[in-house]
Structure 1
Amino acid sequence: MRSIYIYCDGGFGNRYNAVLSGLVLAEAADLNPIIVWPTNNWCGAAFEDIFEPTAHTVVRRELTTFVAEKDQQHHLMVEDHLRMGVPNQSPVLFPAFAELLAYVRGSDKDVFYYTALVPPCMDAQAVRRQVRALRFRPEILARADDFVREQAGGGEFFGVQIRKTDFGANGADDNNLFDLIGKCPDRRFFVCSDDKGVEERFATLPNVAIHHKRAHVEKLVDGDWTTTTADQSGRVYACNVNRSAVSVIDAIVDLLILSKSKVVKTSNSTFLNAALMIQACGVGA
């Protein structure tokens, strides 16, 4: 039986999209799924730190370890990050799922699969089945439930994510959001951010609840959030982030709280979209 290596890269939102869509593809193409979840500066939390045990094989391998095997695999990825020069197709560009399946079946090699987005051609119901099957650890769910019960008391509240550290100038306009929320004293808001200073500022508003984290994302090297850095696989990005395991888990609590709110769409981050997908599936409800 052929295998599909589902490479989970970047932050949690990107990885969540990769693993969900990879499992959908594995099921449809009758492939053995191997979830590749490295722990690195992008995400210091291991798969088992976040999710309940799964029947699928999970391994921790950095991207560079696949270079030696490049000729043994059929590549389906959004970008050739390591310039391996292998034939490949982007899974998000197939107009129909049947064409995606045909590409996968066009080789007898194992599949290497990477995407940060769920391919639009995938059936939404199939993706939602995987959302429900891939269960978060109960203690993480309980932290989110406890916060909602204590802070919202079962009533309606609005969820606002303010992404700052790795979005640069494309981050949410926190000054405008601060003014808008301050003008709605009769409404309850949950505000979360990857920037500690932003959360501390919004916590001064009487109608805002903050999930106080044990750790926030830190910088990998001295400089700005957009200072150019190299990750463990040697890839260079203008993204100076180092997300510890604790900071990732605390951020996932934020994500689950967001999923129980009336979400205010502040960006197109994969993290925020993951909260909306979880909400649509009623996870932890």
Structure 2
Amino acid sequence: LFPHMTAKDNVGYGLRIRGTDTAARRKRAEELLELVGLSEHMDKFPVQMSGGQQQRVALARALAISPELLLLDEPLSALDAKVRSQLRDEIRRIQLSEGISTLLVTHDQEEALVMADRIGVMNAGIIEQIGTPSELYHQPKSAFISEFVGVVNRLPGILHDGHIHVLGSSLIVTNEHQFASGDTAVALVRPEEIEVNADPAGKHVVLNKQLRGIFTSVTLTGPERSPIRVDMSSRNAEALQIGEPASLRIQRDDTVIGSPTKKESESLMEYQEEIL
């Protein structure tokens, strides 16, 4: 923002350059500042506003000239978590109400999932997948997409005729890969796609529980050695006690697979009978 201009003057700057008369310019600036929730701060200078308020003024200034395309490059990266969340929702609301096509660059996966209609995920300068947030999250086309967008558990298993066997389930492999039948691979399964139940005969043990609001992350260990995370409702998680055995079940019939680490391959070979 221009430090010597008020919020209203900053917003109206593009219109002034285009020769819009003073009355129309002020009216448009006031409308947009009200739209971003800053009607009470119109006459303040940037130094008198918080970082989140300055970002709102900058957004209003970009919208003032009614652009055909709005380009946003990491617009929320410098803000604290609470302000970032609030402004993220505000930008999405304004973008929809104004009907402006918007291209947003971000390294924050959650930000992309919440704000976008379509997402393109780049890896080493190449777009690996373009789709809706739901498509990228639930039907990733590669191991990179699966692990980059959201959280996954890496579950080692054996491939056989297009399926991988993990946690007692045979899952259809959905992505292209270079593995042959009988090879070791890892199924990439999201924490909310696993069901956990207290079970005296279960092969896994509850290590920890982390309350995250409406859901709880439960960490378990078992024959795979590597911890497994399960996200479940906080109410249901109350039935699980740390140190007690539990059984796991995957709640989908397909998965993306990736290459195993040396440790994961050794673990599977050593405990293959228990895992299967």
TM-score using structure 1 length: 0.26
More strand by share: 2
Instruction: Please tell me whether Structure 1 or Structure 2 has the larger radius of gyration of its CA atoms.
Output: 2
The structure whose RCO (Cα within 8 Å, separation 6+) is larger is 1
